[in-house]
Every structure is written in structure tokens, then in C-alpha cells.
């Protein structure tokens, strides 16, 4: 049974996704798309001995990775230049020096021949060490050249075994080169040490970290990251939210980054003209070990403190990123909080979250947040957006319910008639 609570939760999740997806290309002052060359992606796969472990849906970690790669290769957009690099795939011995050089380009970054790439993946067998740092350095070289987006997707089931070459420092070194390369990391059945290391690698280049415990999750996430590489490159603009609405920085449409500590309120201001619609979304990422059960809140408030609309979401430790969004259409008529009739309204956005660091983990700096702001020509009357932000879609829903009800009556009548005929015969 669909309760009102479940319906509201589902609609809020839909609204957050729609809000994030509706963002238009940002102006030059905030997140301008750049790059004309083909996007490049290097999938870096851990093939160390621990990948034999059978704890993903009853199969080995290696089997889950191969399945994911086959699905990703089938779905890779034509415009993406994709390559595959391995680590720990060839040297089975105990010599750490040799083991830490064990990284190879399995399939070169370039136009994708799906059959050749799948054949290469099929030959892999879990073998040796986990030289994450050296593999990242080589992968950065694989992606060298061109002005399109560059993305490394690292899939590993353990922390680096080649210290003192710290993979976190390697990622920071790559970021310092200013080559616009993003590293996303996926941890297979992670422990706390591995989670911390992979999170640090991703954070250094503005990437994402995701924990994976099921084969389907792995396929979906890698597909998502490869697809993201084909999107226009958008550079987020760093901003610093204020501790009060009156001091909030003015934002235009665009993509912004900031940091916020647990329970800290960050304020931003957006001017909305009559007849325009404000669409905003926020994502907060856990770049360190946190306690389960957390939430994020995004509020739109007038300059006089009256709440207009809010978006909120909660998590339970099964994801490392949490997002929510909201929409606010400003009517053509003047608002009670606007200074002059027909004037732009200053809308303040308040962001807060309830992530809390695990014991012994630093709380500063705050967790990274990404704020999307979009002001578009919208409906001239707030009534154009109905309850839950679904607009006139409720009319369609009502029509479908009515049609289903009538169809049920007709079918019931036919069934009763057929039974009556059968009995008379």
C-alpha cells in the first residue's frame, strides 16, 4: 500500500533528481563548459590476488568486475575514447620492488573496438600486488594530450601495498599539474582503511568515491562515470557561504563548491525576477569516515526570514553522497517581501547537513558540498506548479486512475456475465 509518507518521500526524491538534471549550461562567470576534443576515460582495474575472494553475490570480485566491464563496454558512448589499465595482473612473486612495477595498459585509450576490449578483459586472472600509486601515474600518462575531459575510474578491493609511494600524494601531484583530470574511485567490499585512502584519492582531483558490494551496483556506477565523461566539462566555482542570510554572497546560475561542518548553516543569495523560476540542488559528500544516519537540508527563505520551500534527504550509511533539491517559481505579481512591485526578489538558500565524523577523525575542514543554481524563465504564476512540484502532471495521474477504475468495472461486468452464461449452459 502506498501511504502518504511513502508518496511524499518518493516525490521528494524525484524532485531532487529532476532539479539536478534540469540545470542549464552555466555562464562564463560560473562553471563554463570547456574543451572540444573527444573525452577520454581510463578504467584502472585492480587484479591483485585478493580479487579471488568470493563475496560479491556469491561470486568472486574478479567475476563481478569482468561482468561490469563487459556491460560498460557495450554501453560506452561512441564519442568517448576509452582505455583499460591493470595493476597487479602479471607478477605473482614476493619481490615488492617488482610487484610495485606491475601495471600495464591492457587496452590503449582511443576509439573503442568492443570485441578486442572484451577479449582482453576475459584473459585477466587475479595475480599479485596492489600498486595503486604507480598505476595512477601511468594512467595520467595514458590520458595525456587534448583539451577534452579526462577521467580515471579506479576499481580496487584493497589499499595500496607499495608505500612509501602514497597514492593520495600521487593524486595531489596529478591535480597540481593542472591538466583537468578527475579520478573517481570505487571500493569493492571496503574496510575503513581502504575507504579513507580511496576517498582521499578522489577528493584530491574533485572526483567521487563509492562503496560497492554488489555486481549490479558496480556496473551502474562505472557506466554512470563513463557517461559523465561525455558531458561538457564544467568547472565549479569555489565560493564561501555566510553564516547569515544578510551576509550571503550573491550567486548567478552556475555550479559552485564550498565546505560545511556538521550542523553548520551556509547561506547564499539568488535574485529572482517576477516570472522566473529558481531551481537549486545540493550534494554533500563524505570524504572521510562518518557515522551512519545523516541528512542534508536545502531551504529557500525570503530576506525577511519566511521559508518558501525546502528540500531534504536522509541516508543510513549505504552511500557516500547525499543530494536534495528544490524549485521556486516567482509569480508575476509582487510578493509581500519584495521591496517594490515587480522588483527582483532576493531569495536566500540555506544549506546544512548532519554528517558526523567517526571517532578520532578530524572534523575540519568541513565536508565538500556542490551547489547547483539555475534561474530560468518559468511559469508566471506559482499555481502552475502543483503540489510536490509535479505541475499539471497530476491531471494525467488522475486521468490514468479514472481510466483504470472504469476498466476494472468493465472487466468485472464481463467476468460476471461469462460466469452467468457458463452456469446456464
The residues spanned by each domain of the chain are 36-234, 237-384, 398-425
**Yes or no: is domain 237-384 CATH 3.40.50.360?**
no
Per-residue pLDDT, 132: 95
Per-residue pLDDT, 299: 94
Rounded average pLDDT over 241-261? 92
- What pLDDT, in 10s, does the model give residues 311-325? 988 877 666 678 888
Is 7 a residue whose pLDDT tops 60? no
Reported pTM: 0.54
Rounded average pLDDT over 34-47? 84
* Cα distances (Å, whole numbers) of residue 186 to 25, 57, 282: 28, 17, 22
Is 393 a residue whose pLDDT tops 70? no
Is 169 a residue whose pLDDT tops 50? yes
- What pLDDT, in 10s, does the model give residues 396-425? 556 666 777 777 777 777 777 766 666 666
What kind of fold does domain 36-234 have according to CATH? Rossmann fold (3.40.50)
Neighbours of 373 (CB within 10 A): 22
Is 35 a residue whose pLDDT tops 80? no
Closest CA to 382 of 321, 333, 336: 333
- What pLDDT, in 10s, does the model give residues 83-115? 999 999 999 999 989 999 999 999 999 999 999
- CA-to-CA distance for 127 and 180, rounded, in angstroms? 32
DSSP assigned state of 403: H
Closest CA to 150 of 181, 174, 184: 181
Buried b / exposed e over 279-292, threshold 16 CB at 10 Å, is bbbbbbbbbbebee
Higher per-residue pLDDT: 174 or 179? 174
Question: Binning pLDDT at 50, 70 and 90, where does residue 234 land?
Answer: low
Amino acid at each position: 500500500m502506498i501511504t502518504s509518507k511513502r508518496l511524499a518521500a518518493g516525490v521528494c526524491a524525484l524532485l531532487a533528481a529532476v532539479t539536478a538534471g534540469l540545470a542549464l549550461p552555466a555562464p562564463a562567470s560560473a562553471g563554463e563548459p570547456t574543451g572540444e576534443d573527444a573525452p577520454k576515460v581510463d578504467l584502472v582495474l585492480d587484479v591483485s590476488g585478493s580479487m579471488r575472494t568470493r563475496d560479491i553475490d556469491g561470486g568472486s570480485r574478479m567475476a563481478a568486475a569482468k561482468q561490469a566491464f563487459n556491460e560498460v563496454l557495450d554501453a560506452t558512448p561512441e564519442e568517448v575514447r576509452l582505455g583499460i589499465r591493470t595493476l597487479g595482473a602479471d607478477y605473482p612473486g614476493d619481490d615488492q620492488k617488482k610487484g610495485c612495477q606491475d601495471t600495464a595498459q591492457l587496452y590503449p585509450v582511443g576509439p573503442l573496438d568492443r570485441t578486442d576490449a572484451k577479449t582482453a578483459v576475459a584473459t585477466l586472472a587475479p595475480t599479485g600486488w596492489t600498486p595503486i600509486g604507480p598505476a595512477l601515474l601511468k594512467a595520467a600518462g595514458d590520458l595525456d594530450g587534448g583539451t577534452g575531459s579526462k577521467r580515471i575510474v579506479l576499481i580496487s578491493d584493497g589499499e595500496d601495498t607499495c608505500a612509501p609511494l602514497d597514492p593520495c600524494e600521487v593524486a595531489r601531484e596529478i591535480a597540481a599539474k593542472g591538466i583537468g583530470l578527475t579520478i573517481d574511485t570505487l571500493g569493492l567490499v571496503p574496510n575503513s582503511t581502504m575507504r579513507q585512502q580511496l576517498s582521499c584519492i578522489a577528493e584530491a582531483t574533485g572526483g567521487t568515491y563509492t562503496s560497492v558490494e554488489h555486481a549490479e551496483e558496480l556496473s551502474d556506477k562505472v557506466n554512470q562515470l563513463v557517461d559523465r565523461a561525455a558531458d561538457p566539462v564544467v568547472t565549479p566555482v569555489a565560493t564561501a557561504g555566510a553564516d547569515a542570510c544578510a551576509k550571503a554572497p550573491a550567486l548567478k546560475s552556475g555550479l559552485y563548491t564550498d565546505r560545511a561542518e556538521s550542523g553548520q548553516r551556509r547561506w547564499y543569495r539568488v535574485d529572482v525576477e517576477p516570472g522566473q523560476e529558481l531551481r537549486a540542488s545540493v550534494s554533500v559528500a563524505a570524504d572521510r569516515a562518518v557515522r551512519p544516519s545523516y541528512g542534508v537540508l536545502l531551504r529557500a527563505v525570503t530576506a525577511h526570514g519566511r521559508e518558501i520551500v525546502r528540500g531534504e534527504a536522509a541516508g543510513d550509511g549505504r552511500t557516500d553522497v547525499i543530494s536534495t533539491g528544490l524549485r521556486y517559481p516567482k509569480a508575476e505579481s509582487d510578493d509581500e517581501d519584495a521591496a517594490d512591485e515587480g522588483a527582483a526578489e532576493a531569495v536566500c538558500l540555506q544549506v546544512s547537513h548532519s554528517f558526523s565524523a567517526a571517532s578520532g577523525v578530524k572534523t575540519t575542514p568541513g565536508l565538500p558540498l556542490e551547489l547547483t543554481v539555475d534561474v530560468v524563465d518559468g511559469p508566471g504564476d506559482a499555481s502552475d506548479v502543483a503540489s510536490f512540484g509535479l505541475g499539471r502532471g497530476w491531471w494525467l495521474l488522475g486521468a490514468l486512475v479514472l481510466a483504470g477504475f472504469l476498466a476494472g468495472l468493465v472487466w468485472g461486468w464481463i467476468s460476471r456475465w461469462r460466469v452467468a452464461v457458463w452456469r446456464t449452459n
